[in-house]
Structure 1
């Protein structure tokens, strides 16, 4: 296992910021009956699969990390539970790689990260976390007061927007990649209540115009019970 100094540093920073977030919010964090001010579309076209995410602790992306508590990881999976075809070491063999990433709602771009290369996929338990930034390449969009949408792990040099730019729901803003601390290509999406990635609280996302179905073959990818995942997922 190889881990970069940047990943170690940001991991420690993330842990140290957890009590700060609780204190900042008076130990009253948003729960699953909280509704975002804005209604969001999914940050992609077509049918993708949630592999981490939901409003319950059991299926949360990162329940212990308040910023990412209500985050979602999306990728494309076939009916056999496979996310790639061909050489698993090649990013282009993953179905979601290089697919369009869309703005989930109207807003203004307030922060961009674009310093990371794509990482190698995890293969047979082999892990290399050598990223310059655990977030990878990312876009942060202000959609409303105290409501910011974060899109992460974007493909290098694929970001099509600039800080200060107005973006519109459904607009292509980047491509799906594998940058940052990630096991394979996917889109990471969450809402946070401030600009700071490490110091903000995550917000449950209200999606609209979506269809939630049980994914055939999911049990070959994830050992958790699919029917329970279906109940938990919002997308």
Structure 2
């Protein structure tokens, strides 16, 4: 399965919150614009060639409240039938080599994809902005590495990070600091 080693990056503030805590977080949907990461730059995680772009999916309401999740889950079959755009939302795929591996960067903000198929990108180059499109309950960026872009047949590959300590595989719920806050992408 292509999502085997996928990672969701949820931008948080200094208190570890993705958005301010209000009554809407408990009982209603929230505007994606109220989230820390919404609209922030998303950079290419590796150098390569752009092989897929998709833009135009709406950024929908965020859902942190358990009360709002049943209605969201009821829409899951429709999203699955809608294909890659409905699941990944606005997204970009970078081919690291001639025949992969491939890095999918998904849930970008509508209208923010800034690269085109065939473009060559460098690691760290802005490719879009964090959004809440596709199969997403709050603004975040989904990243997965696969051996193919034939999504039903793709196999996930581990995603590692170059840090000051060397190559690292992140742990579950690990907070990764960006270069601007003292860490390294």
Shared topology, TM-score over 0.5? yes
Q: Which residue among 134, 148, 151 is the counterpart of 1:180?
A: 134
SS in 1 for 2:96: strand
Quickly say closer, same or farther: Cα 1:210–1:113, change in 2 above 3 A: farther
Listed as ranges, the gaps of 5+ residues in structure 2 are 166-170, 175-184
Q: Distance in 2 between matches of 1:210 and 1:147?
A: 24
* Partner in structure 2 of residue 122 of structure 1: 63
Quickly say closer, same or farther: Cα 1:139–1:92, change in 2 above 3 A: same
- In the TM superposition, what whole-angstrom CA distance separates every residue of 1:182-226 from its partner, at most 9, and x where no partner exists? 110001001000122222100001211367xxxxxxxxxxxxxxx
Q: Distance in 1 between matches of 2:14 and 2:49?
A: 37
Greater mean deviation of Cα atoms: 102-111 or 78-87: 78-87
Quickly say closer, same or farther: Cα 1:78–1:184, change in 2 above 3 A: same
TM-score of the aligned structures, taking structure 1 as reference length = 0.59
* Partner in structure 2 of residue 92 of structure 1: 33
Q: C-alpha displacement at 1:78, in angstroms?
A: 3.2
SS in 2 for 1:68: coil
Listed as ranges, the gaps of 5+ residues in structure 1 are 1-65, 212-226
* Partner in structure 1 of residue 88 of structure 2: 135
Q: C-alpha displacement at 1:96, in angstroms?
A: 0.7
* Partner in structure 2 of residue 102 of structure 1: 43
Q: Distance in 1 between matches of 2:6 and 2:87?
A: 15
Q: C-alpha displacement at 1:121, in angstroms?
A: 1.0
Quickly say closer, same or farther: Cα 1:181–1:229, change in 2 above 3 A: closer
- Supply the RMSD in Å over aligned alpha carbons: 2.4
Q: Distance in 1 between matches of 2:124 and 2:108?
A: 16
Q: Distance in 2 between matches of 1:206 and 1:189?
A: 11
Q: Distance in 2 between matches of 1:104 and 1:228?
A: 19
Q: Distance in 2 between matches of 1:188 and 1:123?
A: 17
Number of residue-to-residue matches in the alignment: 152
Quickly say closer, same or farther: Cα 1:164–1:76, change in 2 above 3 A: same
Q: Distance in 1 between matches of 2:125 and 2:172?
A: 32
